[in-house]
Structure formats: C-alpha cells, structure tokens
C-alpha cells in the first residue's frame, strides 16, 4: 500500500474501545449511576464492530444476522453511529421509530455524550404556559429550524398546580417540584423530564411541602428556599438541596428571615433572593454555598434589580421595560445598573407582549414573551465593543408566532372594555440534547 493511500485511511470516527457515557457533570459512569439517577439506562454500546481493525476471527456467514442486524446496512456500527449522531435533533423522534436497535441507541447516554463531545448538541427552548382556564401546557422551540415541537403532556399533578418550581440539571433533565395543588394543597412532589428520551420520571420528594418559593442550580445541585406552606399558613425560612449524585434531598441553613421570593439569580457563585417577608416588607438575602450561610444584602445590585433577569458570562442582565426591548447591565465597579442595551423597537405594554423570561441560548441572551415571540440579543458583542445606549444591530427576532394575532385581539379587547386574564408563561428553560 502506498503512502498516499495510508494518508486516506482515517482513524475510527467513534472510539469503540472506551465508554464515553456520563449522566451528569461530575457523576459516576453510567454503569454505576443507575443506582443514583432514576430512569438512567446502562451504557448502550452493544458489540460495536470497529471499522479499521479487521476481525481476524471471522464469524461464519449468517452468525451476525442471528445475533443482531447492523445499524446501517453495509456499514460497521461505529461508522453508522458517526452518521446518526450528526442527524439534526429535530429528526431524533423519527429515528427512534426505525427499529429496536436505533431506539435503544437514542434512548441511552452514549449517543448524546458523543454529540456533546464533538460540539453538535443542540439547545432548545422549553416554555411552560398557563392558559385562560388555568391549565398548564408546554412547548419546545427549535431555534435552528425555528419550529415549535409537540411534547408529551405534563403529568396530571402539575396540570393545574400553582407556585411550583422549575429547573434544569445535567443540561437535559427538566425538574418540576413543589407547588400547590388546587385540591390537595402544598406538595413535596418532584418529577423530571428527560429531553433525550422525551419521557417523564419520578424523583425523590422534597423534605418540606411548599409553594411560591425560590430555587436555583449551583454545581448541578438544586437549591430550594422560602415560600409558603398551606399547613402552617405562614412564610417559611427553611431551605434544602437536591444532589443528583446521591439522589436525595437534605436541609441546608435556614434563611435569616422568612420570605416568599419573587425574584432570584445566581451571580458570582452566590444565590441572591428578593421577596416579601411575613409583614409584606421587601427583603433581600444572599446564600454562600461554600460556608452554608445566609446574609441580608442591601447594595445597589438588589435595589435596582428587576425581573426577569439572568447571569451570563460573568455579567448580570435584567429587563428594563415591560416588552423586554431594553436590557440593563449591572456594573460591579459602580455597584449600579448604569449600562443598558436598547433595541429602539418597543412593542407596547400589553400582557401578550410582556417579556416573561430571559435565558441564555447558544452564546446569546434570549427574550421570550407571553405571545411566544422570541428575540435574541448578542450581548457578547456589546461587552467587547463597549456599546451603551444604542445597539439595535445586536437584536434579532427568531419567532413571531401569534404576535400579530395577539396584538389585534388585545386592541379589540381594550376597545370593547374587556379585561379578561390572558394566557401567560410560567417558566422557561433551555435543554440540550
């Protein structure tokens, strides 16, 4: 064989000699994680035949068909997987329907760990919405193809719940926890949705029943604090943490004062909460995970802090107007919200156009409004270029689904004097797969 031919031969596109599976960052391998994470499947790398190194102990003809058929006819399995992991996420639900081997492959962690390792994992926006009748529905948005995707129904215990929490662990598990059932009252229940399998699972219940509480994720652990408990009819001081490595909840230090939080964010490794105390006074506290203690906070950050907000690339951002067309940036040196990024394209102040969420998406900040319209802001360019007031070129509209229809409906309702409660977004998160 010539040297030119040797250069053509490439190493395997999939490492078939080592397992690349990981459930969570910092977790054990999948083989040892089944005890810890509910719904986790074992490593799905069954008998992958390498494509470069020939099998000297060749099996008799027909032996392979008796064991299992190839993932793709005419290709070794590692090359087939190298092809399948490059299929857009939009088509994964169809791939699972092809055959049992494809279903098992796409339901495990091996497939998605490869997508993440080569940088082709995709982020989708997941929106949980409450309709006019108080029912909960949810939707997923693919920002690449700009399409809304159908999802399995939210479990019935959360179909009408109020004041429940929502957070993402491991990048692909969306957790719903706590809340208030209209009939049963405050709940301890915890469930999670796996974006890789498109299914819901149960997780261990919280230690306390609570609703309208604060929650955050630090180092892939879920923190919950404050809120209300219908049984005691008062605000709560207790706080707890869920560690997916151990698959259990445990208490952490109590807050300095009882609080019902209405805004919270993780900034500089600390958890900031702002809410109402037992006497309806506005309170602010910060939690330090390293020392497990709470401290009151009164500085300029919390005094000018508004919701929604997000911490991104070491900076803290918050919306400065109801329609979310102007962003405020916290300046740590001056301890103030002096900088802003303005689109100069304000939409109005109706409830349908109100910005309900601010989340990071593919290296940018994403604003989601109640009418499901989406705007992306490239805040990284504003930091590099030192842009202040005028930054229209940083803004991009991804989706305007229902925006015009909602504007017409709101105008007609205002003219006719009707003021019914509209549907609105309750939670918004980004999941990767």
- What pLDDT is stored for residue 241 in this prediction? 98
410 found inside a domain: yes
Same-domain pairing of 168 and 288: yes
Task: Note whether 234 and 104 are same-domain residues.
Answer: no
92 and 147 assigned to the same domain: no
The DSSP annotation for 208-239 comes to: S-BBS-EEEEETTEEEEE--EETTTTEEB--E
Residues 51, 164: one domain?
no
Examine the fold and report which residue of 248, 280, 298 is the final residue of a domain before the chain moves on: 298
C-alpha–C-alpha distance, residues 377 and 353, integer Å: 17
Per-residue model confidence as pLDDT tens for the chain (433 residues) = 444 444 433 333 443 333 333 333 333 333 443 443 444 444 444 344 443 334 444 555 444 445 678 999 999 999 999 999 999 999 999 999 999 999 999 988 899 999 999 999 999 999 999 999 999 999 999 999 999 988 999 999 999 999 999 999 999 999 999 999 999 999 999 999 999 888 999 999 999 999 999 999 999 999 999 999 976 667 899 999 999 999 999 999 999 999 999 999 999 999 999 999 988 899 999 999 999 999 999 888 888 888 899 999 999 999 988 998 999 999 999 999 988 899 888 888 888 899 999 999 999 999 999 999 999 999 887 654 555 545 778 999 886 444 444 444 444 444 444 444 578 999 999 999 9
Does 311 fall in a domain? no
Find the length of the chain.
Answer: 433
Q: How many domains does the chain have?
A: 3
pLDDT (0 to 100) of residue 300: 84
Q: Which residues pair with 272 in a beta bridge?
A: 265, 286
The per-residue DSSP string of 78-98 comes to HHHHHHHTTS-GGGHHHHTTT
At which residue do the structure tokens 């032996």 appear?
A: 63
Domain presence at residue 165: yes
Residue whose entry in the numeric block shows the structure tokens 């091996």: 110
Q: Are 308 and 264 in contact (CB under 8 A)?
A: no
- pLDDT in the model for residue 279: 86
pLDDT at residue 76, rounded to an integer: 94
Residue 364, C-beta contacts closer than 8 angstroms, at least 6 positions apart: 376, 377, 378, 379, 380
Domain termination residue (choose one: 64, 99, 117): 117
Residue 260: which CATH number? 2.120.10.80
| Prior bond of 308 cis (ω within 30°) | yes
Residues 293 and 159 in one domain: yes
How far is 207 from 276, CA to CA, in rounded Å?
23
What pLDDT score does 231 carry?
65
Question: Are 264 and 206 contained in the same domain?
Answer: yes
Residue 136 domain flag: yes
What is the enclosing helix (H) or strand (E) of 260? Answer: strand 260-267
Query: What single-letter DSSP state applies at residue 207?
Result: S
What is the pLDDT at residue 392? 75
User: In what helix (H) or strand (E) does residue 282 lie, and over which residues does it extend?
Assistant: strand 282-288
| Domain that residue 100 falls in | 11-117
* Phi, psi torsion values for 382, nearest 5 degrees: -70, -35
Cβ–Cβ < 8 Å for 316, 309: yes
Taking a C-beta distance cutoff of 8 angstroms, is the pair 262, 274 a contact? yes
214 touches 237 (CB < 8 A): no
Query: What's the pTM value of the predicted model, to 2 decimals?
Result: 0.81
Tell me: do 377 and 258 sit in the same domain.
no
Domain end residue (candidates: 275, 298, 321): 298
Q: What is the pLDDT of residue 120?
A: 95
Note whether 193 and 173 are within 8 A (CB): yes
Q: Could you tell me which residues are beta bridge partners of residue 139?
A: 127
On whether residue 314 sits in a domain, the answer given is: no
* Within-domain flag for 4: no
Give domain status of residue 402, yes or no: yes
SS3 state at 104:
helix
């Amino acid at each position: 064989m010539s040297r030119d031919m040797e250069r053509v031969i490439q190493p395997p596109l999939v490492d078939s000699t080592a397992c690349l599976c990981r459930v969570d960052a910092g977790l054990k391998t999948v083989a040892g994680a089944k005890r810890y994470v509910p719904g986790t499947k074992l490593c799905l790398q069954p008998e992958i035949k390498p494509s470069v190194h020939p099998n000297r102990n060749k099996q008799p003809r027909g032996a392979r068909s008796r064991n299992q058929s190839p993932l793709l006819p005419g290709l070794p399995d590692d090359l087939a997987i190298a092809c399948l992991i490059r299929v857009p996420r939009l088509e994964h639900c169809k791939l699972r329907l092809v055959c049992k081997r494809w279903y098992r492959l796409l339901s495990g962690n091996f497939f998605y760990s490869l997508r993440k390792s080569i940088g082709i994992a995709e982020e989708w926006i997941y929106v949980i919405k409450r309709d006019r009748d108080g029912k909960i529905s949810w939707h997923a948005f693919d920002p690449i193809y700009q399409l809304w995707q159908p999802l399995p129904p939210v479990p019935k215990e959360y179909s009408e719940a109020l004041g429940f929490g929502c957070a993402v662990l491991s990048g692909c598990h969306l957790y719903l926890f706590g809340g208030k059932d209209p009939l049963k009252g405050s709940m301890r229940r915890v469930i999670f949705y796996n974006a890789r399998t498109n299914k819901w699972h149960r997780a261990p219940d919280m230690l306390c029943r609570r609703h309208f509480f604060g929650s955050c994720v630090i180092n892939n652990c879920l923190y919950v604090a404050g809120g209300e408990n219908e049984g005691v009819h008062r605000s709560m001081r207790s706080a707890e943490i869920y560690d997916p490595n151990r698959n259990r909840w445990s208490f952490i230090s109590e807050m300095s004062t009882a609080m019902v939080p209405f805004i919270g964010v993780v900034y500089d490794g600390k958890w900031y909460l702002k809410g109402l105390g037992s006497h309806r006074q506005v309170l602010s506290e910060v939690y330090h995970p390293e020392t497990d203690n709470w401290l009151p906070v009164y500085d300029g950050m919390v005094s000018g802090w508004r919701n929604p907000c997000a911490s991104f690339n070491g900076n803290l951002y918050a919306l400065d107007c109801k329609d979310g067309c102007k962003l405020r940036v916290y300046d740590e040196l001056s301890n103030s919200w002096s900088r802003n990024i303005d689109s100069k394209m304000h939409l109005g102040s109706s409830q349908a156009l109100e910005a309900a969420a601010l989340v990071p998406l593919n290296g940018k900040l994403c604003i989601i409004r109640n009418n499901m319209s989406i705007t992306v802001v490239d805040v990284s360019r504003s930091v590099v270029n030192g842009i202040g007031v005028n930054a229209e070129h940083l803004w991009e509209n991804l989706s305007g689904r229902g925006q015009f229809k909602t504007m017409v409906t709101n105008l007609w309702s205002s003219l006719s004097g009707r003021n019914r409660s509209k549907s609105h977004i309750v939670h918004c998160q980004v999941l990767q797969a």
